[in-house]
Structure 1
Amino acid sequence: MRWIHAMSAVALLGAVTAAARPADASPTREQYRLFRALSIDLQGRIPLPDEIAAFERPGFDLDAWIDQHLQGAAYAERLRRVYLDALRLEVGSMFNFVSNPLVLRRVRVIDPDGNPAYVYFRRAQRRDRVESDLDFCLSPEETGITVAANGTLTGTAHPIDRAAWNQRTVEVRPWWLYRDYRSASPSQRISAGDGSAMTLSPVAGLLMDADNTTPTTTVRVCREEAQTADRGAVYLSGRLTALPRTEPYPGGRVTAPPTDSAYARAHAGQMVSCTSGTGVSLSDDCGCGVGLERCMPGNSLGNDPAAFNLPDNVPLGADQPLDSRAQTQGDWSRFWWAQEAVHFLDDLFVRDRDVRGLLTDRGTMVNGATAQFYRGFAGSTCCGNGTQFDYAEPAALFDPARVPTDLTPHDLATWRRVDDRGPQAAGLLTTPIFLAKYGTRRARAHIVYNAFLCRQFVAENLALTPSTEPNLMVRPGCAACHAALEPLSAYFTRVTESGWTFLPPAAFPALNPACATRGGNSPNGGCTSFYDPAFGSSAQGMLRGAYGSLAHADEGPPGLARAIVDAPEFASCVVKNVSESFLGRSLTAEDQPLQESLVTSLRSGGFRMRSMVRALLRADAYRAANNLASATWREGATP
């Protein structure tokens, strides 16, 4: 925090406004302080000796120096911090990203030769035999052990019959061990890595075989998981009713064999995408892809097993971590979601793009890890009960077909711009980090309202009374905030909460006669998942969250982006956020002329930040904010 001197300091500095000093003048103390502040803001550090020497030379042109440094990585990082501070785009382990179609867990078994071996598998994998469908591919009778749903093992392992071993499992050279995993014969095995964010670094357990001495060169995986097809046929087992628990389950399994869903019976043999969670749950043709690239490795049977070493402390940036540690497969995704936002912001500010693109830009930045996520991971959370609406393949916020195909998970240091993610993309609003950080429609609307309009919802000073009114826009004690919040949150109606699955109007009309209420209830569980009985009628159901504005629900996040950037408060909020960060204090009524002039600079500059920041750095307010000696602090200066 910078501290502000009394008005006498402002008056003193009012005369120190010349951009270039006279040839015979030496810098004043105030000018030294200003140059130091500019260096910290624009270079991220105090001036170096040679820079101070240049500053002290007669005729030094400060305006030219400012213009020279209003570009580049340090300048972009300074502006990026303004918006990362406002949006707080960090997601901790409380957001538990464990998608079973993605996670390869492993079981320690005894191979046919009597040696310990790991076999990788994923839960909820369809298989063509009753003994292992939706379970580990080798049955308890074949292994001697039982794999429980909670990750515990029971029993005593014995050597597996060689025929079963060869029939049910295969060896693969996976993406986390080989750079050239897409080739016919991968040979470029990675080194252990240094734990930095720029080097793929599997945890130690993934680099050694089950004997803990032999370096892993191949992994053994269940045969179904090793399949590489992009699409698979809906599998029909023929089981219509659950087996009674009084009977032993086939193969010694401890869970009931799955039965065919109504959707599977109606669509048997039809092709589904193997990148969607629904596809994995419906088709025994769907595996993890070439080199298992559609799945994440794990070093155990745990719910969220360790996978990679990642930076643990990055005050200098992800490419300069202070330390690293083994982290889970979920941490891997969360880390790279956050880095996408960092590079999105840096690209906007380095290129001096229109700042409205924070919300409206259909493009983004991707590297190998995020490209892998958008191609093969994002769809794993779709589509659940959506199959009751014939929705089995996601209409993605980021169209996977637009993701660069040549980026592999090893290209962590390579960031590339994708100019158009698709029609539903809207700047930061449709990035995974934003949608995970702000999991509900209201939370998403509130942070946008606060960070981009600089406004808060203020409750009425009323005592809350019991009410059965579901419409918060009119409920006493709630209406003061929710009359504005509900229409804004309606823009996120078609993006699932705590996720990024998009609900297209063709499958999920905002008003759906198929989900009309009967006696105050929806007719089936599928309707209740997506349609709110509280706002339904005997004629139709209403999509959850849409009651604030049906029009906003269909406009989606791009509609919210347009509404926010078109609001008169948007430009002044940009100025407020940046000015308060650079000045180190809140703006006051006395700053209104400054704020208005900076808004003019921003608008006249086509909403590009550079012209506005230039005007701010040349303002007397900036000089005054940085002209405070340490002795003055001790004299009782206030922020």
Structure 2
Amino acid sequence: MMSHRSWQALSFALVTSLSSSAMAEEDQCYLHRELSVERQLRRLSLDLRGVVPDVAEYAAVEGLDEIPEAIVKTYLESDEFRIQMRRHHENLLWTNPNVALANVGFALGSTRFADTTLVYHVTAAGTSRLYRGGDGTHYCQNRPQSELGYQPDGLPVAESMGVDGTGEFFAEGWVEIHPYWEADPSKTIKVCAFDAQATTEYTLPPGDVDAGTHTCDSPVSTKSKSCGCGPDLAYCMLTSVVQPQVLASMREQLLRLVDDYTDGTRPYSGLISTKRSWVNGPLAHYFHYLGRRQTFSLTQNIHQPADGLLPEVPYTAVDQWVEVEREAPHAGILTLPAFLLRFQTNRARANRYRIAFEGQHFQPAGTKDTGCAKEGDDLTQRCVCRSCHVTLEPLSAHFGLFVESGSTVLSDFETEFPTASACANGYAPRSAAWCARYYSPVPDAVDPDIRPYRLKALEYDDAAHPLIGPNFSAGPEGLAQKNIESGLFHEVATRNLFELLMKRSPDLDPTSTQGESKLIQQLAEEFRAHDNFKLLVARLIQLPAYRRMP
């Protein structure tokens, strides 16, 4: 006969076994359990608005079997939905450019004198040396320029202040200026008189290698003592104020296109193909005056005809956005500064495009690479590297019409110069630094002494790399159009949105009994036909999978 203790042990084991079986069965069916209508509402609100429903919203669905269509429509038309779609695209595109937009040649520093007077001046040693002589460390004296006056040629009168290690140096006074970045017209700052000069042009005499008239907002305007920061200091910037605002405007410029093509009023494919753009006050001022002042060793954001006409709006019009129509080779968000400056090399731009819009990541080969070059600059032939670069280099050529580490369009640039001298003369005033920034020498295969200078993106445009030239000419718009026409763009966008809403990747395994590859293909084909982003969202949240336990 079984003892009492043995019976207890057996009973406990049996209960435990039954409980485990029930839990296992429940776990097995977990993904197939449909959410209650209240939990469906919560999920829908969090996904489409980023907030939980309030008490009144919960009360409105009490006792219902499904979410009313009117609630879905309200959520999709809310401003919160717009913000959610911005966040979704920011996750894909990393829209946070963080680059230096100023350098010492036109960035303003400040000096506080003993009586607490604060005076601003350009900190570049070369500019200070041109103005005041000496070793370039000097600035103006603490007195109004009106007490010193001006010379007949308009230059500020400067007094001798002594001798330093390189010779005699001078100092002018200061003037009060209303800076362009200050919204209150009654507010002024004190600026050293040389730096505050409002001259817009200067002329170099015959015999000078750069003889002729040039503008004072050029990076090589340091030849003229009469060039300062321009009217209202337009050619200079107080970096701590202007740079964050311009970078924030670049980010907002891209996100405004996201708004335009996710609100259901325009075809979503326009996100990567449109010529439209938006410009506000900080961007208009930056590209009109400051972009071309950057020294050639730093980022290059020179406004070009293809960028469209800049609106005449003041810098302080931060919230005034004007629509601008660009020209080829522009292609939606792919050629906006926020994208080009966030991914500063053509390879990085191509890689991010491939991830966000082609749904592919580069992975090193799993087998040993043979028949390759152990050394060399051509990564499509180098061992280990070529498994990825044979795809990446032709893809990156699509972005070659835009300068690396910058947003300057190169479509109006000469593709090649026969010599270094001719290359330097391609810019006025002539500049070898300009040539080195945009071009690279290409030694002739027969005679290495023949060194034509070709745009850097075309360095490997030859018979061994037949796709470089055509892809360069097609530009980003050619790449975008190819993926739109093939359906790949809409398929990847569908997968990305499915993952966002379902909180998991779709099961694309063709051998899986629960596979979703056919569903994704069907949704993508529907999306390609109507090209309406909101309709795709509405379609996905109607799927049974969306109403189940995540």
Residue 170 of structure 1, aligned match among 171, 175, 197: 175
CA distance in 2, matches of 1:287, 1:105: 14
Amino acid at match of 2:311: P
Amino acid at match of 2:390: A
CA distance in 2, matches of 1:621, 1:52: 22
Q: In the alignment, which residue of structure 2 is the partner of 1:543?
A: 455
Amino acid at match of 1:586: S
CA distance in 2, matches of 1:551, 1:351: 34
Residue 270 of structure 1, aligned match among 213, 218, 221: 213
Residue 290 of structure 2, aligned match among 355, 377, 392: 377
CA distance in 1, matches of 2:37, 2:65: 13
Q: In the alignment, which residue of structure 2 is the partner of 1:398?
A: 307
- Give the 5 Å matches for 1:282-297: 282-297=223-238
Determine helix, strand or coil for the equivalent of 1:467. Answer: coil
- Give the 5 Å matches for 1:603-614: 603-605=528-530, 607-614=531-538
| Structure 1 position 50 matched with structure 2 position 56 | yes
Higher helix share: 2
- Give the 5 Å matches for 1:118-517: 118-121=119-122, 123=124, 125=127, 131=133, 138=140, 142=160, 164-165=172-173, 169-179=174-184, 186-187=185-186, 217-228=187-198, 231-235=200-204, 265-272=208-215, 274-278=216-220, 280-297=221-238, 307-308=240-241, 330-350=243-263, 352-381=265-294, 395=304, 398-399=307-308, 402-406=309-313, 408-412=314-318, 414-462=319-367, 467-505=374-412, 507-509=413-415, 511-514=416-419
CA distance in 1, matches of 2:473, 2:165: 45
Contact kept in structure 1, 2:95 and 2:339, CA below 8 Å: yes
Provide the TM-score with structure 1 as the length reference: 0.65
Determine helix, strand or coil for the equivalent of 2:249. Answer: helix
Determine helix, strand or coil for the equivalent of 2:268. Answer: coil
CA distance in 2, matches of 1:496, 1:277: 17
TM-aligned CA deviation for residue 443 of structure 1 = 0.7
> What does the per-residue CA deviation read over 1:69-89, in whole Å, with 9 as the maximum and x for residues that have no partner?
222321122222222111222
Contact kept in structure 2, 1:127 and 1:224, CA below 8 Å: no
Contact kept in structure 2, 1:382 and 1:394, CA below 8 Å: no
Determine helix, strand or coil for the equivalent of 2:414. Answer: coil
Q: In the alignment, which residue of structure 2 is the partner of 1:566?
A: 485
Aligned alpha-carbon RMSD (Å): 3.9
| Structure 1 position 582 matched with structure 2 position 489 | no
Determine helix, strand or coil for the equivalent of 2:496. Answer: helix
Q: Are residues 34 and 226 of structure 1, via their aligned partners in 2, closer, same or farther at CA, if it must alter by over 3 Å?
A: same
TM-aligned CA deviation for residue 369 of structure 1 = 2.6
CA distance in 2, matches of 1:460, 1:225: 57
Q: Are residues 554 and 286 of structure 1, via their aligned partners in 2, closer, same or farther at CA, if it must alter by over 3 Å?
A: farther
% identity of equivalent residues: 24
CA distance in 1, matches of 2:75, 2:348: 37
> What does the per-residue CA deviation read over 1:528-587, in whole Å, with 9 as the maximum and x for residues that have no partner?
544334665446443222225123223333333333433432111101111101111111
TM-aligned CA deviation for residue 417 of structure 1 = 4.3
Q: Are residues 533 and 120 of structure 1, via their aligned partners in 2, closer, same or farther at CA, if it must alter by over 3 Å?
A: closer
Amino acid at match of 1:39: S
Q: Are residues 525 and 335 of structure 1, via their aligned partners in 2, closer, same or farther at CA, if it must alter by over 3 Å?
A: closer
Amino acid at match of 2:133: E
CA distance in 2, matches of 1:427, 1:293: 29
CA distance in 2, matches of 1:379, 1:115: 35
Contact kept in structure 1, 2:329 and 2:401, CA below 8 Å: no
TM-aligned CA deviation for residue 131 of structure 1 = 2.0
| Structure 1 position 89 matched with structure 2 position 95 | yes
Contact kept in structure 1, 2:120 and 2:190, CA below 8 Å: yes
Q: Which has the larger radius of gyration?
A: 2
Amino acid at match of 2:219: G
CA distance in 2, matches of 1:573, 1:60: 29
Contact kept in structure 1, 2:440 and 2:453, CA below 8 Å: yes
TM-aligned CA deviation for residue 447 of structure 1 = 0.6
Q: In the alignment, which residue of structure 2 is the partner of 1:8?
A: 29
Contact kept in structure 2, 1:381 and 1:501, CA below 8 Å: no
CA distance in 2, matches of 1:147, 1:70: 70
Q: In the alignment, which residue of structure 2 is the partner of 1:16?
A: none
Unaligned runs of 5+ in 2: 1-25, 142-157, 422-431, 509-514
Determine helix, strand or coil for the equivalent of 2:211. Answer: coil
CA distance in 2, matches of 1:392, 1:235: 26
Q: In the alignment, which residue of structure 1 is the partner of 2:542?
A: 618
Determine helix, strand or coil for the equivalent of 2:275. Answer: coil
Determine helix, strand or coil for the equivalent of 1:296. Answer: coil
TM-aligned CA deviation for residue 396 of structure 1 = 5.9
Determine helix, strand or coil for the equivalent of 2:175. Answer: strand
Contact kept in structure 2, 1:357 and 1:427, CA below 8 Å: yes
Amino acid at match of 1:459: P
Q: How many residues align?
A: 478
Amino acid at match of 1:355: Y
Q: Are residues 102 and 7 of structure 1, via their aligned partners in 2, closer, same or farther at CA, if it must alter by over 3 Å?
A: farther
- Give the 5 Å matches for 1:31-70: 31-56=37-62, 62-70=68-76
Contact kept in structure 2, 1:338 and 1:433, CA below 8 Å: yes
Q: Are residues 60 and 275 of structure 1, via their aligned partners in 2, closer, same or farther at CA, if it must alter by over 3 Å?
A: farther
TM-aligned CA deviation for residue 290 of structure 1 = 3.4
Q: Are residues 479 and 107 of structure 1, via their aligned partners in 2, closer, same or farther at CA, if it must alter by over 3 Å?
A: same
CA distance in 2, matches of 1:463, 1:396: 49
